[in-house]
């Protein structure tokens, strides 16, 4: 597929995906969502990619939500199909077998904020803003926001953000657990790449299984979560990577 609304760069084990509709503040229309689904599938199958970074083009926005101009005249069936497409795109990102970091470089509103919720974690620039303004437009978050946000920050805080539609700063997002770190704007991408590179330098199978066990075990009780952990870590001993890394560690110690 040719990508008109997204840029993809693969280098040193990192796949950097940039939403590239700066004149529309990188808003999510059908074409962009279709392209994103294809890119996520491609990155998942690409053995040269160990970590994925998501960011936005321009100085104003990460993703300023779904494309209101495209949504305005939708009938209920059309809206349902559009929401299904959004769910497929964002769930595909969430289910990616490789770690995903959002580098939020500006407005992350509506569908843009919902996309960050599906990443493994997010870093935000000092000028980033987060919000779910959908209720002011006669709808509500429809790309998974009503489900993922309460699980991340708690039901009461999620209700406050979604029902008021208010926008919050990067610092406020950090304080309630929506982002892991607030970074000076000029350093956002370089710092995100630094963290992603550290992850990429680690054992591919170890990182992959650790992410899977955390995600799958999150909703299990402790006993079943521990059982999942035991069975999964044993798989790390099936290949050569663990043996090479442990041997190198011991030889370095000597």
Catalytic residue among 114, 160, 175, 251: 114
Q: Return d(Cα 65, Cα 79) in angstroms, integer.
A: 15
Distance CA 73, CA 75 (A): 7
Task: Report the C-alpha gap between 166 and 34 in whole angstroms.
Answer: 29
Contacts of residue 127, Cβ cutoff 8 Å, sequence gap at least 6: 106, 170, 185
Concerning whether 134 is annotated as a catalytic residue, the answer is yes
Known catalytic residue at 114: yes
E runs forming strands in 90-153: 100-104, 107-109, 121-125, 129-131
Question: Which of 35, 59, 126, 134 is an active site residue?
Answer: 134
Separation between Cα atoms, residue 18 and residue 91, nearest integer Å: 18
| Catalytic residue numbers, as ranges | 114, 134
């Amino acid at each position: 597929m040719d990508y008109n609304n997204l840029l993809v760069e693969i280098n040193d084990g990192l796949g950097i995906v940039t939403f590239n509709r700066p004149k529309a503040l990188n808003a999510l229309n059908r074409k962009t969502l279709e392209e994103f689904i294809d890119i996520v599938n491609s990155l998942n199958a690409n053995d040269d990619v160990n970590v994925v970074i998501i960011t936005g083009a321009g100085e104003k926005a990460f993703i300023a939500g779904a494309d209101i101009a495209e949504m305005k005249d939708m009938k209920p069936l059309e809206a349902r199909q559009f929401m299904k497409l959004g769910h497929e795109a964002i769930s595909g990102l969430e289910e990616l077998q490789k770690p995903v970091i959002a580098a939020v470089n500006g407005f992350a509103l509506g569908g843009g904020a919902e996309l960050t919720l599906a990443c493994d974690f997010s870093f935000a620039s000092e000028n980033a803003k987060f919000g779910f303004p959908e209720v002011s437009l006669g709808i509500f978050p429809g790309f998974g926001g009503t489900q993922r946000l309460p699980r991340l920050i708690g039901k009461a805080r999620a209700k406050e953000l979604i029902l008021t539609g208010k926008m919050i700063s990067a610092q406020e997002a950090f304080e309630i657990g929506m982002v892991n770190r607030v970074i000076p704007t000029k350093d956002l991408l370089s710092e995100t790449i630094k963290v992603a590179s550290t992850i990429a330098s680690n054992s591919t199978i170890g990182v992959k299984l650790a992410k899977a066990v955390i995600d799958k075990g999150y909703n299990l009780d402790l006993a079943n979560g521990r059982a999942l952990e035991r069975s999964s870590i044993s798989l790390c001993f099936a290949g050569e990577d663990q043996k090479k890394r442990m041997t190198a560690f011991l030889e370095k110690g000597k």
